[in-house]
Amino acid sequence: SMLFALFFGAGNLIFPAAMGQSAGANVWWAVLGFCVTGVGLPLLGIIAVGYSGCRDLREVASRVHPLYGLFYTVVCYMACFAIPRTGTVSFEIAVRPFLGADPSAFALPIFLAFFLGISCWLAASPSKLVDRIGKFLTPALLVTLAVMIVMSFATPMGDFQAPGKAYDEPIKAAFQGVLDGYNTLDAIAALVFATLIVNSVKEIGFTDPKAISSQVMKSGMLAGLLLALVYIFIAKIGAESVAAIGMQDTGAPVLAESAKVFFGSFGAYLLAAIVLLACITTAVGLLTCCAAFFMQLTGKFTYVQWVIGFTVISYLIGLFGL
């Protein structure tokens, strides 16, 4: 449950929605390709780190060469440094629509301080992540998503339209779906989050390497199944939405307008809840992993100090906007 929430950020919401609109009648082929890289590769990454018996990604990559291990791990962590984006995406989709046509210049700084402050507090105690995210935030996220998915079956917006150029043949649609799924960044993020999952399994009480590997594998399979189901249903909503809301530039307005069609003005509040929950869990996971890695790498400052440092850096970058 926690692993699913760590993976499931804003991009995981908007990419399949946009893909569904463009794929149209070939949406199921596109979803198949999307799941190969959006679910299959992250699952393999989690299983690989768990099976290796290594403490973290650096130790795994160091089997090539110690310098390669250091280089590759730093690149992965920096590539996954999407914490500022989680805050700015939340603001643009979940907050800005309620502020009118000309929101105050102080709106983004105030929201980022609130959003990242909560993320910092949640990340400051990694031993409590399973309880805070796995038992509370993830169920809340899944419930809000389920409400929207159920409405898409109860009152579908329309039929699948003709596919776009990149999806106009089944094989092309599947291949484009492979690229779309890789854009979620979860294939790389899996290598980062795997360390967090391995440590959580150990804290629960597992000590035998085979038992740890087994528990990590089960976690990855459950998270992968949940991801696949959500991708399928969000892509379906996107594919059916064209007749009702027209083609949109990105997945964000696809979801926003679809929510309004399903629920009227209440839809904006529902989507805001979905986006906030999805983004804050990813921000917490990234803060936790980055702080733990760089504390271990440098041997300087405490874990909490690194969390605070990355929070401040994320805040300053986020001020530039989405």
Read off the pLDDT of each residue in 297-312 and give the average, rounded to a whole number. Answer: 94
What's the pLDDT at 16?
Answer: 94
Tell which wins on pLDDT, 125 or 134: 125
Read off the pLDDT of each residue in 95-101 and give the average, rounded to a whole number. Answer: 83
pLDDT in tens, 143-190: 888 888 898 899 889 899 999 999 999 999 999 999 999 988 889 888
Among the listed ranges 9-13, 25-29, 70-74, 280-284, which one has the minimum average pLDDT value? Answer: 9-13
What's the pLDDT at 40?
Answer: 94
Residue 101 to residue 188: CA distance in whole angstroms: 38
What's the pLDDT at 129?
Answer: 63
Q: What is the DSSP letter of 97?
A: G
What's the pLDDT at 206?
Answer: 86
What's the pLDDT at 265?
Answer: 83
Confidence bin at 130 (pLDDT 50/70/90) = low
| Three-class DSSP category at 274 | helix
Q: Residue 58: name the closest of 67, 50, 48, 70 by CA.
A: 70
pLDDT in tens, 29-68: 999 999 999 999 999 998 888 888 888 889 999 999 999 9
Contacts of 279 (CB under 8 A, 6+ apart): 9, 10, 86, 87, 89, 90, 115
Residue 157 to residue 171: CA distance in whole angstroms: 26
Q: Is residue 171 exposed (0-12), middle (13-18) or buried (19+ Cβ within 10 Å)? A: exposed
Residue 298 to residue 310: CA distance in whole angstroms: 15
Dihedral over alpha carbons 39, 40, 45, 46 (to 10 degrees): 60
What's the pLDDT at 147?
Answer: 87
Sign of CA dihedral 232, 12, 123, 117: negative
